[in-house]
C-alpha cells in the first residue's frame, strides 16, 4: 500500500491505530513536533535530542546500576522510566523510546549481547546463505515487553509525543555480517557484491524485523517513528541506491498505513540525503557535516529537516554553543519545517544543564523563522568574544 499523504489516514478515520492512541484522541495531534513533521511551522520550534534518554543523566546511571543494557531495554518499567527522565528534566518536545537497535534481533532469537565498552557482539557472524536462511521469524508475542513499555510511557507523557525507534536494515545487517562493531564494514560490503542474493534476503529479514518493531511501538502509542542508519556513511551512493534503499523503504512500509509521521536519520549521510528522503518519510535527520540549507537543496522543499547541532559543541563555552544553535536554526528556516536536534547522539560526558539551556533558547526563538534571523548577529559577536576568552 502506497500512501501519498499518510496524515490523511488519520483525518479520514482510516488508520488502524486504536481509539485511545494519542494521535486519535487528540493528546498529541497538534503538538509542535507532530505539526513540524507534517510540514507546518508551529509557533514554538520543537526540539528533542537523540540519546537524550541515557548516559548523560545521573538519574539514568543510578537506575541502571547492576542491570545489563539489553535487560534494561526489555524491562518495561525501567525502559519507561528512562524514556521519561529527560522529558521531565529538559522539557523537550518529545520522548524517544529507550531501546537499542539490536533489541529486535534479540527478540527474534539472534544470539547478540551488548558488551560494555565495545557494543553489540553476535555469537557468530551471519555470512552464508545457510545462516541467513536459518534466521528465525520474529514472533509477535515476543514484542509484549515493548508494547507494555510504550503504553506505560505514553500514559505519563500526556500531550508530549513519544517517538518510536528502530535500526535501519543496513546497519543491522552490518552488525550481523561483521559479528560486531566495525570501522569500515568491509565484510558487509563484500557480501553485498559477492553474493547479492544472500545480501538481499538478509536485508529483507532485517527490514521486516525493524518494521515489526516500529509498528509495535506505533500501535502501542508512539506518535512518530524514527529509522536510524548508523553506518550508512560507509556506503557509496551507488551501493545505497542499488542495494540498500529499497530495504529501508520496506522497513518503513510496516507503519505506512498507520498515518504516523516517519523520520529517517543516518550518520555520514550527506551523499545520500536525497535518496533517504525518497523512501517514504516526512522528515530526514541531518548530521552535523552538512548545513541544513544545503540539505534542503539536496532533498527538495517537501521534507521537514531535523538537526543538526554538532554534539562536540555541547562541551564548548555557552556563547560559542549559542551562536552555533542560532545558526543551525537560521539554516533550518529554509526548510518547510524544522525539528531542532543534534547531528548525532548526546555524548555521555555532556552536562545535562547544557541541554536544558538549549531547549530554553530554542523555545524562546518562536517559530524559528523570524526569531532566528534577527538575533544571529548579536549572538555571533558574543560568541566570538567568548571563544577568544
Instruction: Render 167-210 in DSSP notation, one character per residue.
Output: E-HHHHHHHHHHSS--SS-HHHHHHHHH-HHHHHHHHHHHHHHH
Q: Supply φ then ψ for residue 94, to 5 degrees.
A: -160, 150
64 counts as catalytic: yes
- Bridge partners, residue 162, by sequence: 95
Residue 349's nearest CA partner among 67, 86, 51 is 51
Mutual orientation of helices 352-363 and 318-332 as an angle, nearest 10°? 40
294 CB neighbour count, 10 Å cutoff: 15
> Residue 311 has which C-alpha cell?
554534539
Report the 10 Å Cβ neighbour count for 65.
6
**Location of C-alpha cell 538478509:** 202
Q: Are 263 and 225 in contact (CB under 8 A)?
A: yes
Q: Is 353 a catalytic residue?
A: no
Collapse the DSSP code of 368 into the 3-class scheme (helix H, G, I; strand E, B; otherwise coil) and give the result: coil
The active-site residue, picked from 100, 208, 229, 310, is 100
Separation of alpha carbons 292 and 324, rounded Å: 12
**All 3 cell numbers of residue 316?**
564548548
Q: Taking the CB of residue 370, how many other CB atoms lie within 10 A of it?
A: 10
41 among known catalytic residues: no
Catalytic residue among 35, 41, 51, 215: 51
Residue 155 CA to residue 147 CA, distance in Å, equals 12
Cross-sheet strand order for the sheet of 338-342:
95-96, 162-167, 224-229, 262-266, 283-285, 304-309, 338-342
Question: Quick one: cell of 221?
Answer: 502509542
* Exposure on the CB side of residue 41, measured as CA atoms within 13 A: 14
Q: Could you tell me which residues come within 8 angstroms of residue 365 by beta carbon, excluding any fewer than 6 positions away? A: 45, 326, 329, 371, 372, 375
Annotated catalytic residue 175? yes
Grid coordinates in use for 166? 528502530
Is there a catalytic annotation at residue 152? no
CA 76 to centroid of chain Cα atoms: 20
Q: Which of 41, 44, 175, 250 is catalytic?
A: 175
Cα separation, 44 vs 303, whole angstroms: 19
Catalytic residues: 51, 55, 64, 100, 175
Amino acid at each position: 500500500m502506497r500512501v501519498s499523504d499518510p496524515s490523511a489516514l488519520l483525518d479520514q478515520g482510516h488508520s488502524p491505530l486504536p481509539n485511545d492512541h494519542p494521535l486519535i484522541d487528540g493528546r498529541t495531534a497538534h503538538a509542535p513536533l507532530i505539526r513540524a513533521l507534517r510540514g507546518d511551522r508551529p509557533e514554538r520550534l520543537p526540539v528533542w535530542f537523540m540519546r537524550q534518554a541515557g548516559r548523560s543523566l545521573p538519574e539514568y546511571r543510578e537506575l541502571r546500576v547492576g542491570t545489563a543494557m539489553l535487560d534494561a531495554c526489555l524491562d518495561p518499567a525501567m525502559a519507561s522510566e528512562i524514556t521519561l527522565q529527560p522529558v521531565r528534566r529538559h522539557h523537550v518536545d518529545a520522548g524517544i523510546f529507550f531501546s537499542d537497535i539490536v533489541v529486535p534481533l534479540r527478540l527474534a532469537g539472534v544470539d547478540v549481547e551488548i558488551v560494555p565498552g565495545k557494543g553489540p557482539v553476535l555469537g557468530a557472524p551471519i555470512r552464508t546463505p545457510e545462516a541467513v536462511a536459518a534466521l528465525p521469524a520474529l514472533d509477535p508475542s515476543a514484542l509484549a515487553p515493548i508494547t507494555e513499555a510504550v503504553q506505560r510511557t505514553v500514559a505519563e507523557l500526556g500531550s508530549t509525543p513519544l517517538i518510536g525507534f528502530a535500526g535501519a536494515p543496513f546497519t543491522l545487517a552490518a552488525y550481523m555480517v561483521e559479528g560486531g562493531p566495525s570501522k569500515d564494514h568491509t565484510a558487509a560490503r563484500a557480501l553485498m557484491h559477492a553474493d547479492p542474493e544472500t545480501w538481499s534476503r538478509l536485508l529483507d529479514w532485517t527490514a521486516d524485523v525493524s518494521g515489526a518493531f516500529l509498528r509495535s511501538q506505533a500501535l502501542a502509542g508512539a506518535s512518530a517513528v524514527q529509522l536510524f542508519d548508523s553506518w550508512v556513511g560507509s556506503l557509496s551512493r551507488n551501493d545505497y541506491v542499488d542495494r540498500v534503499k529499497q530495504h529501508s523503504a520496506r522497513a518503513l512500509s510496516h507503519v505506512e498505513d498507520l498515518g504516523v509521521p516517519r523520520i529517517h536519520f543516518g550518520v555520514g549521510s550527506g551523499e545520500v540525503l536525497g535518496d533517504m528522503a525518497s523512501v517514504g518519510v516526512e522528515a530526514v535527520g541531518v548530521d552535523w557535516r552538512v548545513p541544513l540549507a544545503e540539505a534542503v537543496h539536496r532533498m527538495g522543499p517537501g521534507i521537514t529537516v531535523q538537526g543538526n547541532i554538532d554534539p562536540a559543541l555541547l562541551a564548548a563555552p555557552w556563547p560559542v554553543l549559542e551562536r552555533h544553535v542560532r545558526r543551525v536554526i537560521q539554516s533550518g528556516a529554509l526548510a518547510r519545517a524544522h525539528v531542532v536536534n543534534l547531528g548525532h547522539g548526546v555524548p555521555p560526558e555532556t552536562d545535562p544543564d547544557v541541554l536544558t539551556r538549549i531547549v530554553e533558547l530554542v523555545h524562546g526563538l518562536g517559530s524559528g523563522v523570524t526569531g532566528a534571523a534577527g538575533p544571529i548577529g548579536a549572538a555571533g559577536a558574543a560568541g566570538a568574544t567568548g571563544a577568544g576568552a
